[in-house]
C-alpha cells in the first residue's frame, strides 16, 4: 500500500470577528491587517479566495488611509508596506548559515531504482527493487521500502526566507550556495510570501523554496511589456529572474511573482519536524504557500508512478516544472544518509526531457501552404528537445522574424512543449557570428515564381499563383484527398508530390482520370497498390455535399462551415449562385468568410474544376435548402451607441439581428447606420465624420417596420 497525503491542507482560518463601532484607530488598524492577512492566506495558500478583489482593495485603502492619518501606527509588517524605500545601488551579500545545496539528477527509470537501492542500503535495509526489466510489472508497491516525499521540481529561482519571531527579516538568493544576494526589498513585494507568519512561529525559521511565475501571469506580463514597447521575456523562469534582479523594488512589485516552500534552513526555538511531509504541512499552517502536487510513497515503484503521473499532466500544470524531486521522508533518515560533496544523498531530481534547448539556425527557408501562405521555417542543427529530435521550427511570418531578430547563423532557443510544433523562442545575441545573415522575404514564390503579396493588416505573405503554383497544388490535393474530405485512402503526400511534379495531375479533377498503368509507373508503387488507389478514387465519387465543399479548400471554410453551407443551401448550384449577402445569411458565416467564398467562386478556374469534378461523376445526395428568404436587413451593419429612450441596448440589438442585420461594436466606412441615443459619444462623432446615416430610436423602429413589410413571414 502507498501512503498518501495528496493536497494536505491547513484548515481555513476563522474570520477576525466583527469590530465594535466605537473601536479605536489602533484597534481598527489591527483588525484590518488581520483581515487582509487572512484573505491573502485564503488566496495564496489555500487557493480558495473568500472575497472579490474589489472588497480586498477597499479594506486595503482603508488601512492605507488610517496609517497616513496615524503614522505612529505604521509597522513594517503591515500589508501596505510591501514596497518601501529608494532603489538600491547594489545588492548586499548574505552568508547562508545553512548552505543551499543542489540536487543530484536522474533521467532514466534505472537511475531511480539505483537511488532507491542506495538509500535502502545506506539505511541498513535491503532494497526489494524489481529487476530492471520488470520495472512496471510489480503490481504491489513495496510496503517495506524506504518512504519518500515526492514533489515537483519548479523551474524558478531558489530563495531563502528568514523569519525571526514570525517576521520576514531577510530574503536571499542561492548564489553559490555559501553566499547569495540580499533581495529582501524585492521579495517583500511578492504577495504570496507572508511578511508575518500565522500562529506560533519559531524564534528563527529559514524557509527555502522557489520563486516562480505562473504561465498565465507570464503571458499577461509579456503582453503588457509588448504593448508598452518594452522587452518581452523568453520564458517564465527568465521573467522571474529578471524581476528579482531589479534594484528598484517598485519594478519588482509590478511583476506577478509567486512562491512555493519546499525546504528548511536554520531553525531555532522549535523541534525539527519528524518527516519532510509534516514539515510541508507545517509551512502551510504558518501561511506559506506549499504546492498541492505532493505525495508520500514507498520504494522505487512509488517514485516511478509519481513521475509518470506528473509527466502525463506536465503540460496542463499552470507553471513550468523540469522534473520531480524525491526526498527521503523521515528527517532522521535524511540525517543518517547525509551529503556527498554538494548534494544530499537522500534526495534525487528526476528530470523530464528539457522543453527548451539551444541550437543553431543553418538556414531560413520558406514553405508555401495550400492557400499560398508563405511561412518562413528555420532549418536547425538537430537538437533533442521535448523528447524528440527537432530539425525545423516555424518562424510564423516576417514580422515575427523581425520581432525576434532571427538571423541565419544565430544560436537560438528552441521550445517544444507537448504536441505543439517546435518554435524559436529567442536568439542568444551574444553568440551571433560576424557573418550572420538577415532573412529577406522573397518577392517571388520560390516554387512557381508568381508575385508574393502581403495585404495590409495581414501578417502573412502569400503567393498569388493559386493553382498554377505546384506547392499550392500539392497542398490542395493533399487537402482534397484527406480522410475528413474526399477520403481517398492511399493518396499520400509522396504520391501527390510525384503526380504534380510529373505534370500528370494539376487539379483534383485530374485524379479521376488516373488509370492503374499511370499510377503503377510511380516510384514505390506496385500494381496492387495502384489498383487499390484507383478503387479508392472511384469510391470517393460518392460523397456528401459538406465533404465536397470542405474538400475544395476554400480559405476560412473548415469542416464546420462546410456543414453549415451544405445545410443552408442544400444544393451545390444554390451555393454557386450565392453572392456575399446571401452567404452572410448562413449560420456562423461572417464578412471575412463570406468574402473568401465569394472570391473563390468568382475565379473561373475554380468553377471549372468544380464542373469537371461533377462531370467525372463526383456526386452527393442533394436536399432542399433550409434557408429562408433573405431577411430584410441582411448584409446591413448597424452600430448602437448611447442610451435609447425606450429600448434597452439588448432589446434593440435583438430586434435588428432578428431582421438580419449585423450589430457591430465600432463605426467604419462599412457601417450602414448608426443608431444613437442620449449621451452618444465618439461613435456618433465618427459616424458624422464618415457620413454614415444616423438614426434615433424612432428612425430605427421605422427602418424595421419598412423592412418588415417586405418580409415574407
Ligand atoms: S530541494 C538540498 N526541492 O532545484 C536540496 N529544490 O538542483 C535543495 N528546485 O537550487 C533543493 N524545485 O532551485 C528542492 N521541490 C524542490 C525543488 C528544488 C526546484 C530547484 C532549486 C535548487 C535546484 C537544485
CATH number of 356-453: 2.40.50.140
Check if 328 has its Cβ closer than 6 Å to any atom of ligand 1.
no
Question: How far apart (Å, rounded) are the C-alpha atoms in residues 545 and 357?
Answer: 47
Residue 69 is labelled as binding a ligand: no
Q: Which atom of ligand 1 is nearest to the CA of 344?
A: 2
> CA 389, 395, 399: angle at the middle one, nearest 5?
165
Q: Which residue has the higher pLDDT, 711 or 52?
A: 52
Contact between 547 and 487 (Cβ < 8 Å): yes
CB-based contacts of 352-355 (< 8 A; 24+ apart in sequence) = 352/311, 352/314, 352/321, 352/322, 352/323, 353/384, 353/385, 353/386, 353/387, 354/322, 354/385, 354/386, 355/320, 355/322, 355/385, 355/386, 355/415, 355/416, 355/417
Among 151, 153, 280, residue to substitute to test ligand 1 (most atoms within 8 Å of Cβ): 153
**Mean per-residue pLDDT, 357-378:** 93
CATH number of 469-541: 1.10.150.20
Q: Which atom of ligand 1 is nearest to the CA of 343?
A: 2
Residue 342 is labelled as binding a ligand: no
Contact between 401 and 436 (Cβ < 8 Å): no
> Nine-digit cell at 62?
482603508
Contact between 383 and 399 (Cβ < 8 Å): no
**Mean per-residue pLDDT, 446-468:** 87
Check if 310 has its Cβ closer than 6 Å to any atom of ligand 1.
no
Gap from CA of 496 to ligand 1 centroid (Å)? 52
Question: How far apart (Å, rounded) are the C-alpha atoms in residues 38 and 306?
Answer: 33
Question: How far apart (Å, rounded) are the C-alpha atoms in residues 653 and 640?
Answer: 8
Gap from CA of 103 to ligand 1 centroid (Å)? 6
pTM, entire model: 0.67
Burial of 558 (0-12, 13-18, 19+ CB in 10 A): exposed
State residue 653 phi and psi, 5-degree precision: -60, -45
**Residue 127 pLDDT greater than 70, yes or no:** no
Residue 358 bridge partners (DSSP): 413
Question: How far apart (Å, rounded) are the C-alpha atoms in residues 498 and 520?
Answer: 12
Selecting from 3.40.50.300, 3.30.470.30, 3.60.150.10, 1.10.3480.10, what CATH number does the domain 151-351 have? 3.30.470.30
Least confident range from 33-47, 176-190, 283-297, 486-500: namely 33-47
Please provide the average confidence, as pLDDT, over all residues in the chain: 90
637-707 has the same fold as 545-616: no
> Nine-digit cell at 9?
491542507
Residues 6+ apart with CB under 8 A from 140: none
Q: Tens digit of pLDDT for each residue in 556-592?
A: 999 999 999 999 999 999 999 999 999 998 988 998 9
**Full strand arrangement of the beta sheet holding 147-154:** 105-106, 347-351, 321-328, 147-154, 295-298
What is the fold, at CATH topology level, of the domain defined by 637-707? Rossmann fold (3.40.50)
Confidence category of residue 138, pLDDT binned at 50, 70, 90 = very low
Question: How far apart (Å, rounded) are the C-alpha atoms in residues 441 and 39?
Answer: 54
CATH number of 545-616: 1.10.150.20
Residue 448 is labelled as binding a ligand: yes
Question: How far apart (Å, rounded) are the C-alpha atoms in residues 550 and 480?
Answer: 8
Gap from CA of 710 to ligand 1 centroid (Å)? 74
Confidence category of residue 14, pLDDT binned at 50, 70, 90 = low
Minimal CA–CA distance to 426: which of 375, 357, 377?
357
Contact between 479 and 551 (Cβ < 8 Å): yes
Quick one: which H or E segment has residue 358? strand 356-368
Check if 240 has its Cβ closer than 6 Å to any atom of ligand 1.
no
Among 101, 148, 152, 154, residue to substitute to test ligand 1 (most atoms within 8 Å of Cβ): 154
Q: Tens digit of pLDDT for each residue in 159-202?
A: 999 999 999 999 999 999 999 999 999 999 999 999 999 999 99
Residue 469 is labelled as binding a ligand: yes
- Per domain, the residue ranges of the chain are 25-81, 151-351, 356-453, 469-541, 545-616, 637-707
What is the fold, at CATH topology level, of the domain defined by 25-81? Helix Hairpins (1.10.287)
* pLDDT on residue 3: 36
Q: Report CA torsion sign: 286, 257, 55, 85.
A: positive
Q: Which atom of ligand 1 is nearest to the CA of 101?
A: 2
Residues taking part in catalysis: 153
Q: Which atom of ligand 1 is nearest to the CA of 151?
A: 15
Gap from CA of 439 to ligand 1 centroid (Å)? 41
Check if 158 has its Cβ closer than 6 Å to any atom of ligand 1.
yes
Gap from CA of 91 to ligand 1 centroid (Å)? 23
Check if 344 has its Cβ closer than 6 Å to any atom of ligand 1.
yes
Q: To which residue does cell 542561492 refer?
A: 174
Amino acid at each position: 500500500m502507498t501512503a498518501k497525503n495528496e493536497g494536505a491542507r491547513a484548515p481555513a482560518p476563522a474570520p477576525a470577528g466583527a469590530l465594535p463601532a466605537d473601536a479605536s484607530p489602533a484597534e481598527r488598524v489591527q483588525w484590518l491587517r488581520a483581515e487582509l492577512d487572512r484573505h491573502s492566506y485564503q488566496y495564496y495558500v489555500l487557493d480558495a479566495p473568500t472575497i472579490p478583489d474589489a472588497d480586498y482593495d477597499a479594506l486595503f485603502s482603508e488601512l492605507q488611509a488610517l496609517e497616513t492619518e496615524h503614522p505612529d501606527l505604521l509597522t513594517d509588517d503591515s500589508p501596505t508596506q510591501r514596497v518601501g524605500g529608494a532603489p538600491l545601488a547594489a545588492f548586499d551579500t548574505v552568508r547562508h548559515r545553512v548552505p543551499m545545496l543542489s540536487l543530484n539528477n536522474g533521467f532514466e527509470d534505472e537511475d531511480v531504482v539505483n537511488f532507491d537501492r542506495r538509500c535502502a542500503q545506506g539505511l541498513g535495509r535491503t532494497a526489494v527493487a524489481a529487476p530492471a526489466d520488470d520495472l512496471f510489472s510489480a503490481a504491489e508497491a513495496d510496503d517495506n521500502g524506504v518512504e519518500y516525499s515526492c514533489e515537483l521540481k519548479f523551474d524558478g529561482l531558489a530563495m531563502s526566507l528568514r523569519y525571526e519571531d514570525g517576521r520576514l527579516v531577510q530574503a536571499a538568493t542561492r548564489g553559490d550556495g555559501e553566499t547569495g544576494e540580499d533581495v529582501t526589498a524585492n521579495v517583500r513585494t511578492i504577495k504570496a510570501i507572508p511578511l508575518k507568519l500565522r500562529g506560533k512561529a519559531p524564534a528563527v525559521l529559514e524557509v527555502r523554496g522557489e520563486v516562480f511565475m505562473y504561465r498565465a501571469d507570464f503571458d499577461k506580463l509579456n503582453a503588457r511589456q509588448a504593448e508598452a514597447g518594452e522587452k518581452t521575456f523568453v520564458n517564465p523562469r527568465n521573467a522571474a529572474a529578471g524581476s528579482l534582479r531589479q534594484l528598484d523594488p517598485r519594478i519588482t512589485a509590478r511583476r506577478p511573482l509567486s512562491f512555493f516552500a519546499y525546504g528548511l534552513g536554520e531553525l531555532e526555538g522549535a523541534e525539527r519536524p519528524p518527516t519532510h511531509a509534516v514539515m510541508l504541512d507545517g509551512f502551510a499552517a504558518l501561511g506559506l504557500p506549499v504546492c498541492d502536487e505532493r505525495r508520500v510513497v514507498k520504494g522505487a515503484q512509488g517514485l516511478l508512478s509519481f513521475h509518470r503521473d506528473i509527466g502525463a499532466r506536465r503540460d496542463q500544470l499552470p507553471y513550468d516544472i523540469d522534473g520531480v524531486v524525491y526526498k527521503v521522508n523521515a528527517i532522521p533518515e535524511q540525517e543518517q544518509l547525509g551529503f556527498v560533496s554538494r548534494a544530499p544523498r537522500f534526495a534525487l531530481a528526476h528530470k523530464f526531457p528539457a522543453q527548451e534547448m539551444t541550437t543553431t539556425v543553418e538556414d531560413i527557408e520558406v514553405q508555401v501552404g495550400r492557400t499560398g501562405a508563405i511561412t518562413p521555417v528555420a532549418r536547425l542543427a538537430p537538437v533533442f528537445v521535448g523528447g524528440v529530435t527537432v530539425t525545423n521550427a516555424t518562424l510564423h511570418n516576417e514580422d515575427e522574424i523581425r520581432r525576434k531578430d532571427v538571423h541565419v547563423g544565430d544560436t537560438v532557443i528552441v521550445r517544444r512543449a507537448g504536441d505543439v510544433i517546435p518554435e524559436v523562442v529567442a536568439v542568444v545575441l551574444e553568440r551571433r557570428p560576424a557573418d550572420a545573415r538577415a532573412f529577406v522575404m522573397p518577392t517571388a514564390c520560390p516554387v512557381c515564381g508568381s508575385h508574393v503579396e502581403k495585404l495590409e493588416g495581414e501578417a502573412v505573405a502569400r503567393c498569388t499563383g493559386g493553382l498554377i503554383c505546384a506547392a499550392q497544388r500539392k497542398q490542395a490535393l493533399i487537402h482534397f484527398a484527406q480522410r475528413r474530405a474526399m477520403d481517398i485512402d492511399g493518396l499520400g503526400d509522396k504520391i501527390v508530390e510525384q503526380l504534380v511534379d510529373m505534370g500528370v495531375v494539376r487539379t483534383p479533377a485530374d485524379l479521376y482520370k488516373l488509370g492503374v498503368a499511370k499510377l503503377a509507373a510511380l516510384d514505390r508503387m506496385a500494381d496492387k497498390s495502384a489498383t487499390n488507389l484507383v478503387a479508392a478514387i472511384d469510391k470517393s465519387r460518392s460523397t456528401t455535399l459538406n465533404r465536397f465543399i470542405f474538400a475544395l479548400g476554400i480559405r476560412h471554410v473548415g469542416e464546420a462551415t462546410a456543414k453549415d453551407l451544405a445545410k443552408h443551401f442544400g444544393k451545390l448550384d444554390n451555393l454557386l449562385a450565392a453572392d456575399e449577402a446571401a452567404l452572410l445569411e448562413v449560420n456562423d458565416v461572417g464578412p471575412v468568410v463570406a468574402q473568401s467564398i465569394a472570391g473563390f467562386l468568382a475565379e473561373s478556374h475554380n468553377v471549372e474544376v468544380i464542373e469537371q469534378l461533377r462531370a467525372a461523376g463526383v456526386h452527393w445526395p442533394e436536399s432542399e435548402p433550409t434557408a429562408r428568404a433573405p431577411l430584410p436587413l441582411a448584409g446591413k451593419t448597424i452600430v448602437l451607441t448611447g442610451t435609447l429612450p425606450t429600448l434597452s441596448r439588448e432589446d434593440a440589438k435583438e430586434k435588428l439581428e432578428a431582421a438580419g442585420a449585423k450589430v457591430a461594436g465600432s463605426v467604419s466606412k462599412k457601417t450602414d447606420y448608426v443608431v444613437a441615443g442620449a449621451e452618444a459619444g465618439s461613435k456618433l462623432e465618427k459616424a458624422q465624420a464618415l457620413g454614415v446615416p444616423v438614426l434615433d430610436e424612432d428612425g430605427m423602429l421605422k427602418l424595421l417596420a419598412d423592412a418588415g413589410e417586405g418580409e415574407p413571414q
